Amino acid sequence: MFKGETVYSIGRQFNVTNINQPNGLVRQNNIDYTLRFDFSLPADTRLNLQFFQRVATNHDPDTLADKYGSGVSVRIDGKLDNKVGARALVARSLNRSDRIFRPKVTWVFEKNWRLEVGVDIFSGRR
């Protein structure tokens, strides 16, 4: 399945590096969109591939963000048995070296009760 979503934000505030800006913020208009493919795989497994981007239509060069901020992600999740499932997400910026790896295991031990254990591992330049 292919899916796309978009949002247009008006006047959202972003940090700036200009010390002459009274409150350290500047208003920007942004278009955020995502394009994704979802695949059903054997053994009750799903794969999601996604591209996302933010475009600042009135970009202020003093912001910490680029005019075009792009990234990609891959998520795979499935059941290990009737009560245990697993998910792994990898996402990275295409503008910077920022990355995240987010594995998670879910155990459904009773009806309407579950225990989830996961971790977020970040990497990239400091």
pLDDT tens-digit profile of 54-111? 999 999 888 888 899 999 999 999 999 999 999 999 999 999 999 999 999 999 999 9
Sign of CA dihedral 72, 100, 104, 54: negative
pLDDT number for residue 14: 87
pLDDT of residue 112 exceeding 90:
yes
Average pLDDT for 108-122: 96
Give every CB contact of residue 81 below 8 A, 6+ residues apart in sequence: none
SS (H, E, C) the chain: CEEEEEEEEEEEEEEECCCCCCCCEEEEEEEEEEEEEEEEECCCEEEEEEEEEEEECCCCCCECCCCEEEEEEEEEEEECCCCEEEEEEEEEECCCCCEEEEEEEEEEEECCEEEEEECCEEECCC
Closest CA to 73 of 95, 49, 96, 54: 49
